[in-house]
Structure 1
Amino acid sequence: MDTPETLNYHRIATAIEYIKNHFKDQPNLDEVAAKVNLSPFHFQRLFTEWAGTSPKKFLQYISVAHAKKLLKENQTTLFEAAFETGLSGSSRLHDLFVNIEGMTPAEYKNGGKNLVINYSFAFTPFGTIIVASTTKGICYMAFSEEKLLAINTLQSQYPNAQFQEREDQLQQNALHIFKNPKDKLQEIKLHLKGTNFQLKVWETLLKIPLGQLTTYGGIAQQIDKPNASRAVGTAIGKNPVAFLIPCHRVIQSTGTLGGYMWGNTRKTAIIGWEASK
């Protein structure tokens, strides 16, 4: 049975999907509230509690037109400006507190043999998430509404590891970001399985400032592989840690949102939520 929090998330997700598909019409509060079977008053209150901003302002954040505007406002592209300011400024939220440690070649090749992996589930503003950790850090984090499927997917990443459903401090530190991304956060360590190229791409994603966007080509430029946009996209698609490694902040150079392994509606919601913060 769905919890009240889950029902509220689905209401907000439905509203976001409607706004995303009808942003050119600039739907008003009454129209969107009707789509989720709530009164305008209750919808306004629920949406504001969830997103920290009004539905009207949220519409500005999540529309494709907004993304295009951001990319075209400067003579230099947005991703260039974002990286230039983000890398030299104090707003590098993720870069300041998330640290990646790649697994050893042996751990990478043997499917996690000798690793003990704890995992637990938590509810976030964007749905249920599974988070898993080794003794060294978070190794996996993914949105999933089906727990059995989430566990099976996790185990397929580390077929030879030992698993136990147990919440630990590493997981608690990681999940705190969903409560308020501006809070002073404990350092979060990631223990990831990936090629050198993938790790380099994931590290670069951490340097995109909160509330800003970049493109696949922008990431390729940052890792000195300007012709590797397609390979960058593949590496981003294999990101094992949802949200903490912010692959949701990467969009296409045309301004469209592009794909997201946990769903475009969720990607849209996260972009808007971060912008509102």
Structure 2
Amino acid sequence: MQTASPYTYGQIAGAIEHLSAHFQEQPSLAELADRANLSEYLFQRLFSEWVGVSPKKFGQFLTLDHAKAQLRAGQSLLATAHDAGLSGTGRLHDLFVTIEGVTPGQYKQAGAGLTLTYGTFEGRFGSYVLGAIDGKVAVLQFLADTDSPEAVVRQVWPYATLNHAPAALQPLADAVFDRSSTGSLTAALLPISVLMRGSAFQLKVWEALLKIPEGALVSYDQIATAIGQPSASRAVGTAIGQNPIGYLIPCHRVIKKTGLFGGYRWGMARKQAMLGWEAAQCFG
């Protein structure tokens, strides 16, 4: 799998932040390259490699009008996904991602008696820690420069026995992020199961997130309606913010009903990168 270095991620993330703040001004390639301290040629090449489309095209996907249009379509897309289970065109269905919640006893024990294998990796959206229990993804969180991977894992599974073995997790890491050279999913990717430790309400919210097709955006209110609790949008937002498995459980696809992107626990630039990249794959 082709990966981006942390330095490249920082450069491109900075460009994405600038594009998001100034998309109406349509920053020039020269301006963006200068901010990244790269030549125009190298910046264009690195950005296109990392994001999948040119800076100009990516900027178009970050506009408020685009977000609002996708949000308006989100209700029908979400309803369609619910009606069909996960039989839409979304990436997560194609990977056969399924959620399994721990038992009430395991929830209270917070991982005691379980062995969690973990490692750090470089991916399209920066450094991340991946952890698995019995072959099921139990943690996927993006890392800041000052984060300790072990401490991040411990926040989710405080009493699990930790086994640092990144090589053993490489096939799983490839299954999470890898794509073929054509941009479509690699046919040989493994099915993915995720093991989540959360309340019954949190599990309902996280399962609803799986039903948002790639390239679609929905609001917190729409998720609340989808789980049968239309007045619980605030609680839904809290549960989304506590999602321990980034990207696979696509909390980045939920935005404010105004069309604004809202916050993201792993940084707004990363959320915008994910949304712009998915839009490029689906609509570019």
Whether TM-score is above 0.5 comes out as yes
Q: Distance in 2 between matches of 1:27 and 1:156?
A: 40
SS in 2 for 1:255: coil
Q: Distance in 1 between matches of 2:47 and 2:221?
A: 34
* Counterpart contact for 1:133–1:171, Cα < 8 Å: no
Q: Distance in 2 between matches of 1:27 and 1:148?
A: 32
* Counterpart contact for 1:138–1:170, Cα < 8 Å: no
SS in 2 for 1:123: strand
Q: Distance in 2 between matches of 1:207 and 1:168?
A: 31
Q: Distance in 1 between matches of 2:70 and 2:117?
A: 40
TM-score by length of 1: 0.91
SS in 2 for 1:14: helix
TM-score by length of 2: 0.89
Deviation larger for 33-42 or 120-129: 33-42
Which of 72, 79, 83 in structure 2 is aligned with 1:84?
79
SS in 1 for 2:134: coil
Q: Deviations over 1:228-276 (max 9, x none)?
A: 1011101101101010000000000000001110011110011111111
In structure 2, the partner of 1:61 is 61
* Counterpart contact for 2:119–2:131, Cα < 8 Å: yes
* Counterpart contact for 1:126–1:269, Cα < 8 Å: yes
Q: Distance in 1 between matches of 2:4 and 2:139?
A: 26
In structure 2, the partner of 1:145 is 144
* Counterpart contact for 1:130–1:142, Cα < 8 Å: yes
* C-alpha displacement of 1:80: 1.1
Deviation larger for 86-95 or 263-272: 86-95
Provide the identity percentage.
42
1:71-220 superposed matches below 5 A: 71=71, 77-87=72-82, 88=84, 89-96=87-94, 97-146=96-145, 149-167=148-166, 172-180=171-179, 182-184=185-187, 185-220=189-224
SS in 2 for 1:8: helix
Structure 1 position 269 matched with structure 2 position 273: yes
Q: Distance in 1 between matches of 2:130 and 2:40?
A: 35
Q: Distance in 1 between matches of 2:16 and 2:76?
A: 28
* C-alpha displacement of 1:168: 6.3
Aligned length: 270
Unaligned stretches of 5+ residues in structure 1: 72-76
Q: Distance in 2 between matches of 1:198 and 1:148?
A: 25
Q: Distance in 2 between matches of 1:4 and 1:182?
A: 19
Q: Distance in 2 between matches of 1:208 and 1:44?
A: 31
Q: Distance in 2 between matches of 1:271 and 1:43?
A: 20
Q: Distance in 1 between matches of 2:157 and 2:118?
A: 13
Q: Distance in 1 between matches of 2:248 and 2:147?
A: 23
SS in 2 for 1:117: strand
* C-alpha displacement of 1:4: 7.4
Q: Distance in 2 between matches of 1:204 and 1:34?
A: 41
